[in-house]
Amino acid sequence: MIVSAHSSLPVAIFVITGGAVIGSFLSMLVYRLPLILKRHWERDCREALGLPQPEPGPTFNLAWPGSHCPECQTALGLQDNIPLFGFLALRGRCRHCHARIPSRYFLIEVLTTLAAVATVAHFGLTARAGFAFLLTAGLIALSFIDSKEQILPDVITLPLLWLGLLANSAGLYTSLPSAVWGAAFAYLFLWLIFHAFRFATGKEGMGYGDFKLFAVAGAWLGWQMLPLIILLASLTGAVYGIILIVTGRLQRSTPMPFGPFLCWATWIGLFFGWPILAGYLHMAHGHL
């Protein structure tokens, strides 16, 4: 879709503001969701073991309490809560106790804003852009949660899986059969690798969250895109791991989450998958 110069400024403001606000929500989600899930798991475990439940603490969910400093618990004022600018104005420190606010949360807001701009620039103001942005936002949240907590929560992966199938029921990115087979193949492929690896080495190299995340990629982009995504994720993951080991920041035996690499490879597949595949087929054809 071509946006005329006359309407491009309001569109740009809408996209950037929307991206920053969603980014602010994502940074809150990345911080709170693992804490909420851990409380649930603890409660379930205690119930299964017949242990007494701890005293219920103050309410803590995605909406309550409002944003506060994780160090001194002081509630954030209105001006500190503005996406992007709040962090910059405070120079990354709490107004009251001057504790450092992890720059990860600012990075999430920046990335989400850039993703909103990139999505509209790439797909225009279309339904494809809207859905692509939802997938990108989900991938950003998953990669940050996985890199910090080594979990890929079902409450994010499963809705993304259904959303991809729904989007492709209208053929937004691929045909519905390709999407359904993509999701099934992807899950099965990593499931097989996981069990073969465990059988051969006795170790677990991945988690079930990785299978579901790869199934998300299949549901959105179709089975044709799976080899590209798994190749890109494995290669970048291996290079990153080697760099960390060589620079002494990672022990050889420490597991490294695979989710962030699957997320980033899925995003590349969403934006550039077909041009990359076409280029590859063109090259392969030239060598025949």
Binding site for Zn ion (CB under 5 A): 69, 71-72, 94, 96-97, 99
Residue whose CB is less far from Zn ion, 71 or 175? 71
Angle at 34 between CA 244 and CA 161, to 5 degrees: 90
The CB-of-101 to Zn ion minimum distance in angstroms stands at 9
Question: What are residue 75's DSSP bridge partners?
Answer: 68
Residue 171: half-sphere exposure toward Cβ, Cα within 13 Å: 1
The CB-of-72 to Zn ion minimum distance in angstroms stands at 3
CB 136 within 8 A of CB 111: no
Q: Give the three-state DSSP class for 25.
A: helix
The CB-of-75 to Zn ion minimum distance in angstroms stands at 10
Residue whose CB is less far from Zn ion, 71 or 149? 71
CA 165 to chain centre: 18
The CB-of-195 to Zn ion minimum distance in angstroms stands at 47
Residue whose CB is less far from Zn ion, 11 or 97? 97
Residue whose CB is less far from Zn ion, 102 or 255? 102
The CB-of-63 to Zn ion minimum distance in angstroms stands at 21
The CB-of-77 to Zn ion minimum distance in angstroms stands at 12
Residue whose CB is less far from Zn ion, 96 or 148? 96
The CB-of-71 to Zn ion minimum distance in angstroms stands at 4
CB 265 within 8 A of CB 214: no
Residue whose CB is less far from Zn ion, 67 or 175? 67
CB 166 within 8 A of CB 177: no
CB 26 within 8 A of CB 141: yes
d(CA 261, CA 74): 36
CB 121 within 8 A of CB 106: no
Question: First-to-last CA distance in the chain?
Answer: 38
Q: Which residue has tokens 């804490």?
A: 35
d(CA 247, CA 223): 37
Residue whose CB is less far from Zn ion, 95 or 128? 95
